[in-house]
Structure 1
């Protein structure tokens, strides 16, 4: 493989692993941690054979790409050893993975989710696993895999050897290490969250709308052999990749929503040199080893400061010189401050030719109350929201007809038909009619709202019987009904008009009426 001298993490970890002790390794990315546990593991496993569905060692990785890379290194390092391995990752055929486990494997390289799926289906047993390797433990924590890892550890034999590697040592990682490890040998190569000294860093602060143009200018002016371009969101990866292809760059896209065969094919094209640029999310920020990667560009400043170290750690590997440049908007100050606090030093600023360099904004809340480009909404630009010029019709919508003005209340009252007034006058008393005429003369705004309710409460309830008597005096006898002459069939029977023959002899007619 061309390795002549071990890296510091390899020189300290390999002897301890060969002794059978647990190891807690803390080293920045790109320092050779993979070979630090793979090489001694091959030496330990070379003495015996594996059984069906019982892997002898287990290596847990947070991402599929990292698991695939460890499997490739295993094949290269163990070229002359008769050891078998199996790769358990999502997106691949589970039947083929079961078949590989049935033949027996010495090294099982897996992601936590697929491993638990196969275990619940009865595809493997973990009782004979003597060595457990947890790689990129801090990334496991960020991706939410720690509950799965804890369950996997509970399925293993307590007499195992555990190798625990992480790029950073947060308090949560320390707690997990105390639970998983037994009297470990702690190996810390460099200060926590330190960046490699051979990586040249830079930070440009430009407007949000100028970020793509600044990236294209940097790609043309810098001596870029191949580069990784990181975005925070998956949809921005696709948008930026299409934009670069449109401007003549050879670029591919890599993120978690792509099918696994597409991800593998894109990564292989980039490693082979068929693609110069690879726009990706943080799925490629951990453990992806691409030989001779010259540049890393942070199109978006990472939200989590630890991700910055892993991103720029893709370049400057194996002692080579690398370049890592970040493009920030004026509202990314809080993220840059967190990165500089974590690394312990400030990122040098630089200017992009032809692009205006800005300063940090007073309001560092990212995107709150602003549209694209960091412009406050309603600042005078023509958009669907915040439009200030309303003197003419909206653009591309044509002139709209003027709205019909609402007529005053007096007009509405005057438009009432005269027949309705006559009908109201016929059924009301002269006093009520005079009151109504005075009420109609008042404007509506004086009759509505708070003035209307008290007036209704003070007005006495109208007595219908009194109105009928008053109407009888004014207009004579009622015109509805039978008047004073009531038909005989509506009168109750009396003793005078009852029939003498009741149908029952010897009974009182009143009793018969009471009985119905």
Structure 2
């Protein structure tokens, strides 16, 4: 391809002046091919590896096209979608750098910051809206954003959008935009899902491919180091040795899991290294502060998850270390693309364990070249046994019988909306606690028969029969029969017919207390000469005194009478719904 200057790409004089002020003179291959097409308003499909200047290839033509026109409140003129907060913030910085001669209003919609400030910017009207898909849809659903005025749509790092599960959100957003628009679509790889998305939402795009998809830059020296022991402490010791002997100016160290980032950071700081950490569970202010310190040289080592694998433009990174070899070959390309940018030299070192050999073969096949090893390479037996080893802690070879820690990695779809990591928040602690609770409950149920056995009688001790089988509990001696007690005397006057089913008394009928039932004249409690009986008889209503009397009790029934007297005294404390309703007494001749 013939080398051109920025003056030959069709950009406006103001944009060219900003480029010269930023210190750039020669465009990269992707910029030479994409900018002239984008300036005309045609759709562009750009395919190139990381570190080739894709961001400027859409920022510069957008500034040139947005020079004329005015933004209205809540109706942005252009929309740029990025997979992570860091990449969105980096695009915003590019507009500040190249748009110094323009009065363009730029709004950044990302998670982790106040929504009120974002709403105020939207109300004033923005020319360029840069957002992560989750936060942008949140504003749209709240009625704070209208998309019918978007003239230019940019989807950056589309393959990363696919990895993070944003493709449904991208489809929803594209359907909300006006059909007459310009779409600029950039990706480092072209999986089938991305190809389908391109055919659905781009109109006759100009395909610009400056390098074979999923390839690494030629300026990066790649080496691998094999260790037969996959323990984390062995890998950390090996990493410290590689950093100390490798003439490392600054480096990004990638881990597959967020918890491993924290453990590695603590280990590096303990051994005197100037290190910081970056992963998806950190709040936005801490992430931004750590990145700024790494860019400014305040920290020289950055332990990071795959949240830092895409789009971060840190110009002068000398080394990239893969503490954990990524599971997907594309992630390897993006990780080591943080070094060797813009034509600079870079070095990438990766630690390989026996459990990583299958992933290593996929990476080597994608690269198309033989790997260069530091020290002894793995043997043919190691490759033959790859994938057959029993995984230990955290999915890597560990101590036999070591507890496995649960959780999802941050790589792939472990990242959440707007670049926020929703990784292994549900880890071993939740399931382990539940398991302990279940286990304790089972043990409690197992102990219940033992408690009942000990409570029933003097249980015999458990004796081992010496055969190695489960010891049995000897049967307790049979209980001695109780002495037969005489049955309680029953009143002869009480009816012996079977009881009827009890029913609750009606609401308007007052249940009678046994003491208020009239008795026969020969009853001692109802004697006329009794002052209490006479007084009660005088005061009772006529409706009660006219009730038929019960049969007289025979003489000598003192025990039954005393028992009835106790029942009468207790009946006053019985709730109404438990009392037996009064029943008519049959005469002897009925």
Asked if TM exceeds 0.5, the reply is: yes
For 1:272, the equivalent position in structure 2 comes to 296
The answer to whether structure 1 residue 406 and structure 2 residue 464 are counterparts is: yes
Alignment partners' CA distance in 2, 1:291 and 1:272:
11
Alignment partners' CA distance in 2, 1:15 and 1:369:
53
For 1:301, the equivalent position in structure 2 comes to 325
For 1:14, the equivalent position in structure 2 comes to 35
For 2:385, the equivalent position in structure 1 comes to 363
Question: Do 1:202 and 1:324's aligned partners in 2 also have CA atoms closer than 8 Å?
Answer: yes
For 1:191, the equivalent position in structure 2 comes to 212
- Structure 1 residues without counterparts, runs of 5 or longer: 380-402, 424-478, 482-512
Alignment partners' CA distance in 2, 1:239 and 1:175:
40
For 1:391, the equivalent position in structure 2 comes to none
Instruction: Tell me: CA distance 1:84–1:377, structure 2 relative to 1, closer, same or farther (3 Å).
Output: same
The answer to whether structure 1 residue 232 and structure 2 residue 256 are counterparts is: yes
Alignment partners' CA distance in 2, 1:515 and 1:363:
101
Q: How does 1:271-350 map to 2 (within 5 A)?
A: 271-350=295-374
SS at the partner of 1:374?
coil
Instruction: Tell me: CA distance 1:85–1:411, structure 2 relative to 1, closer, same or farther (3 Å).
Output: closer
* 1:428-451 deviation digits (Å, cap 9, x = unpaired): xxxxxxxxxxxxxxxxxxxxxxxx
Which residue among 62, 73, 83 is the counterpart of 2:104?
A: 83
Which residue among 138, 142, 146 is the counterpart of 1:121?
A: 142
Alignment partners' CA distance in 2, 1:165 and 1:342:
21
For 1:140, the equivalent position in structure 2 comes to 161
Q: CA deviation at 1:405?
A: 4.1
Alignment partners' CA distance in 2, 1:222 and 1:378:
36
For 1:374, the equivalent position in structure 2 comes to 397
For 1:447, the equivalent position in structure 2 comes to none
Which residue among 48, 55, 59 is the counterpart of 1:27?
A: 48
Question: Do 1:351 and 1:357's aligned partners in 2 also have CA atoms closer than 8 Å?
Answer: no
Question: Do 2:107 and 2:129's aligned partners in 1 also have CA atoms closer than 8 Å?
Answer: yes
Alignment partners' CA distance in 1, 2:367 and 2:62:
33
For 1:43, the equivalent position in structure 2 comes to 64
Q: CA deviation at 1:68?
A: 0.4
For 1:263, the equivalent position in structure 2 comes to 287
Question: Do 1:296 and 1:325's aligned partners in 2 also have CA atoms closer than 8 Å?
Answer: yes
For 2:131, the equivalent position in structure 1 comes to 110
Which residue among 72, 83, 91 is the counterpart of 1:62?
A: 83
* 1:33-92 deviation digits (Å, cap 9, x = unpaired): 000000111111012221111111100000000000010111001111111100000011
SS at the partner of 2:153?
strand
Alignment partners' CA distance in 1, 2:398 and 2:485:
78
* 1:214-249 deviation digits (Å, cap 9, x = unpaired): 100011001111100000000000000000000000
SS at the partner of 2:387?
coil
The answer to whether structure 1 residue 243 and structure 2 residue 243 are counterparts is: no
- Structure 2 residues without counterparts, runs of 5 or longer: 1-21, 403-460, 487-586
For 2:439, the equivalent position in structure 1 comes to none
* 1:384-411 deviation digits (Å, cap 9, x = unpaired): xxxxxxxxxxxxxxxxxxx974259999
Q: Give the root-mean-square deviation of aligned CA atoms.
A: 3.1
Instruction: Tell me: CA distance 1:480–1:285, structure 2 relative to 1, closer, same or farther (3 Å).
Output: closer
Alignment partners' CA distance in 1, 2:218 and 2:193:
27
Alignment partners' CA distance in 1, 2:148 and 2:72:
11
Runs of 4+ aligned residues of structure 1 deviating over 6 Å after TM superposition are: 356-359, 408-413
Instruction: Tell me: CA distance 1:256–1:369, structure 2 relative to 1, closer, same or farther (3 Å).
Output: closer
Instruction: Tell me: CA distance 1:105–1:349, structure 2 relative to 1, closer, same or farther (3 Å).
Output: same
Instruction: Tell me: CA distance 1:124–1:197, structure 2 relative to 1, closer, same or farther (3 Å).
Output: same
For 2:532, the equivalent position in structure 1 comes to none
Q: CA deviation at 1:351?
A: 2.2
Q: CA deviation at 1:412?
A: 6.2
Alignment partners' CA distance in 2, 1:56 and 1:67:
17
Alignment partners' CA distance in 2, 1:318 and 1:211:
31
Alignment partners' CA distance in 1, 2:113 and 2:28:
34
How many residues get paired?
406
* 1:275-294 deviation digits (Å, cap 9, x = unpaired): 00000000010010102110
Instruction: Tell me: CA distance 1:101–1:275, structure 2 relative to 1, closer, same or farther (3 Å).
Output: same
Question: Do 1:54 and 1:105's aligned partners in 2 also have CA atoms closer than 8 Å?
Answer: yes
Q: CA deviation at 1:102?
A: 1.1
The answer to whether structure 1 residue 208 and structure 2 residue 266 are counterparts is: no
Q: CA deviation at 1:365?
A: 2.8
Task: Please report the TM-score for the alignment, with normalisation by the length of structure 1.
Answer: 0.73
Question: Do 1:85 and 1:105's aligned partners in 2 also have CA atoms closer than 8 Å?
Answer: yes
Alignment partners' CA distance in 2, 1:480 and 1:344:
99
